[in-house]
Structure 1
Amino acid sequence: MPISTRNWPGPWLAYLVMFIPVAALVWTGFNDELGPDPARALEHELGIWALRFLILALLITPVRRLTGLNLLRYRRAIGLTAFWYALLHLLAWLVLDRQLDAGAILSDIWKRPYITIGMIAFALLIPLAATSNRYSIRRLGGAIWARVHKLAYAATALAAVHFVMVVKSWPPEPLIYAGIVVVLLGYRAVMAFHHSRASSRDVRTRAT
């Protein structure tokens, strides 16, 4: 049975809640509590939060199908928040880690696979963020817009791989996130397969 969220607060409240982590990180930084390498700690935490929000956006459809709780009105806010955290993560690396040294930045992108993968993941998020508005839906048309936003699956998968590759000692945290992403993408693949089979049966039925 569908669970109505009509009387729930609007997406504006979701934005406020989702930016609490970055506010907490800034506060922690001002109080010099980010550890011996604050730049790296800030970069790391921003990246993790970006991945968390990407995963949360992927969870909305399975939650709706399995529980009836419809949180689609919040998906745009969650997706955009993931993009902004990813952008802050990238800026932390560019400014604090690499000091905007173009040579070092390009060398890292070319020679370090985990950075290459992270940059590709971020590049895939850009068209998603740029078209997360009603004007783009009208301009592109619903079908094309939906295909563009399927880039979120690839971006999330690459972000998870990036996280696993960054942490070289193989602690459980990145593997847990990667496992969650695999399950969510696998669920979507199975649902897409069943939908395709159902559509094919309908076409054959109408043809006969």
Structure 2
Amino acid sequence: MPRLTGAGRTRTLLPWRGEKMALMAVGLLPAALYFWYGAQDRLGPDPVNVFERWLGLWAVRFLLAALLVTPLRVVSGISLLRYRRVLGLLAFWYALMHVSVYVALDQQGNLAVLWHDITRRPFLMLGFAAFMLLLPLALTSNDWSIRRLGRRWGRLHRLVYGVAVLVAVHFLLAFKTYNATSVSYAAALMAMVLWRAVSLARTRMGRARA
């Protein structure tokens, strides 16, 4: 982040809140762009499906970005921790839009068809389970919840690794055949889960030895 230095003082050009708001705004630009393309009838012969899939892909991207923050800090020393909650919230907003397009546009709000689809198609069941786990994480991604929940906040937000597993499988099954995109993103998500598991195991072993 660029800094100004003068009279022995160092300050940032933008406050952290401003940076986070800017990151949120930039992160939502792809959704606005796809919406514009849809309004201009530029998403091909099946615009709802294209819109739905692209929103889902960006949800996966931001989830992966949020999970990468800690490994990046450990491996390279680059700390982006102050942006992790924003990245997680972007993952949630794209997941919400992804689900909303499926419910409102794809299935036109038909509850009977929705229930039939979710209970008969495993990848939809996994996707909705992932979204339901992501919901409380998004609702508690604020300073008030951190103060209120204390240590429980950290335990609650470990659910993100369960979300990552569900999303990885959902993403793979959503495609009729495996392809480079689905396999690479699913593998990256599972790598983050494995990294967390190994990190926790090492921490517990260190405490036991101490």
Q: Which moved more, 1:188-197 or 1:53-62?
A: 188-197
Whole-Å separation in 2 of the counterparts to 1:153 and 1:7: 33
Residue 53 (structure 1) aligns with: 62
Residue 205 (structure 1) aligns with: none
Please give the TM-score of this superposition, normalised by the length of structure 1: 0.91
Whole-Å separation in 2 of the counterparts to 1:89 and 1:129: 15
Aligned sequence identity (%): 42
1:1-208 superposed matches below 5 A: 7=12, 9=14, 10-141=19-150, 143-202=151-210
Whole-Å separation in 2 of the counterparts to 1:190 and 1:22: 35
Q: CA deviation at 1:32?
A: 1.1
- Contact 1:4–1:70 at 8 Å: present in 2 too? no
Unaligned 5+ residue runs, structure 2?
Answer: 4-10
Whole-Å separation in 2 of the counterparts to 1:161 and 1:169: 13
How far does the alpha carbon of each residue in 1:129-182 deviate from its partner, in whole angstroms, 9 at most, with x for none?
Answer: 1111111111111x2100100011111221111111010121221011011112
- Contact 2:63–2:87 at 8 Å: present in 1 too? yes
- Aligned-residue RMSD, C-alpha: 1.7
Whole-Å separation in 2 of the counterparts to 1:130 and 1:77: 12
Whole-Å separation in 2 of the counterparts to 1:181 and 1:90: 20
Which protein has greater RCO, CA pairs closer than 8 Å, 6+ apart?
1
